[in-house]
Amino acid sequence: AIRMTQSPSSFSASTGDRVTITCRASQGISSYLAWYQQKPGKAPKLLIYAASTLQSGVPSRFSGSGSGTDFTLTISCLQSEDFATYYCQQYYSYPELTFGGGTKVEIK
């Protein structure tokens, strides 16, 4: 199975900061990558698919980039509602789908 490694696993940031989360695949997955946001006690929410396409209704401060094995999720200006855990997911190696371990964004 393709292994997805996210970094960092957690970090602290302040409102207004620009933050970047990285996700690395153990082998090439083209652009078959999604990013999800999860808040405590809630279901994950799709933010980005196909590595860089913003899901409908998601604020434009979120963006994704990358292809092959290295991907990034960027939040251009962190808002209070963005403090959450973020997961990447590959769907290239179907149906053996895999998620990254998650990155928790905490308030500094």
Partner 1 sequence: QVQLVESGGGVVQPGRSLRLSCAASGFTFSSYAMHWVRQAPGKGLEWVAVISYDGSNKYYADSVKGRFTISRDNSKNTLYLQMNSLRAEDTAVYYCARQSRRYYDFWTPGDAFDIWGQGTMVTVSS
Per rule CB under 8 A, is residue 2 in the interface with partner 1? no
In the complex, the smallest distance separating the C-beta of residue 56 from partner 1, rounded to whole angstroms, is: 9
Per rule CB under 8 A, is residue 57 in the interface with partner 1? no
What is the C-alpha end-to-end distance of the chain, expressed in Å?
A: 36
In this complex, which beta carbon is closest to partner 1, that of residue 32 or of residue 71?
Answer: 32
Residues in contact with partner 1 by CB under 8 A are 30, 32, 34, 36, 38, 42-46, 49-50, 55, 87, 89, 91-102
